[in-house]
Amino acid sequence: MAMFIRNSPALRSAANSVRIGVFSMAYSKLSEGTDITSAAPGVSLQKARTWDEGLSSNFSTTPVTDIFKGKKVVIFGLPGAYTGVCSHQHVPSYKNQIDKFKAKGIDSVICVSVNDPFTINGWAEKIGAKDAIEFYGDFDGKFIKSLGLDKDLSAALLGPRSERWSAYVEDGKVKAVNVEEAPSDFKVTGAEVILGQI
């Protein structure tokens, strides 16, 4: 019985679905030279905040153009708040190197995830990264989809989410971009790699 389960086509399919993004670069619209604001026209993100802060701001959003225009930005995307690699490796790599980014003239280091801004806020506070990194929710996935970095993670019970990726952007233009072969990987999207690309 154990052999049957291990070799089950359904189980193999689920495992392959979790090992996502093998061809992610082929389908991603995001590449060096891309104008990220043109790739995501009219798209806005939701800055991490409490529910009360959301109410008081009338649930305002931040246009992507405001995030990148005239700025040097390092942005990284990940599958979801409170998930393993995201919490224990990806975000801490940026949090721990924030002084090096500032020394290189980076205006902001941004984390974006397909989550609501309230979940992102609670997570950012829990992992103690909110003072170093700006967190944004892409609650409907429009930003990620517009960049071709969306991925169905239903096999991991997450639904439509994001690839694990990072980019260095100057005045909206992508200067460097990295996408993991699978969102469970953490090989090319950490802080050390992007620091070497600035």
The predicted structure's pLDDT at residue 157? 52
pLDDT tier at 84, thresholds 50, 70, 90:
confident
CB 93 within 8 A of CB 166: no
- The CATH superfamily label for domain 34-196 reads Glutaredoxin (3.40.30.10)
Q: E-assigned strands of 48-154? A: 62-63, 72-78, 108-113, 134-137, 150-152
**Structure-block tokens of residue 94:** 């940026």
> Could you report the per-residue pLDDT of 142-173, keeping only the tens digit for each?
899 889 887 766 565 565 678 889 999 999 99
Percent of the chain residues topping a pLDDT of 70: 81
The answer on pLDDT for 23 being more than 70 is no
Q: Which of 43, 86, 120, 194 is the catalytic position?
A: 86
| pTM above threshold 0.85 | no
111 is annotated as an active-site residue: no
Distance of CA 104 to the CA centre of its chain: 21
Among 123, 72, 132, CA closest to 96 = 132
Average pLDDT over the chain reads 80
Most confident of 2-11, 30-39, 66-75, 121-130: 66-75
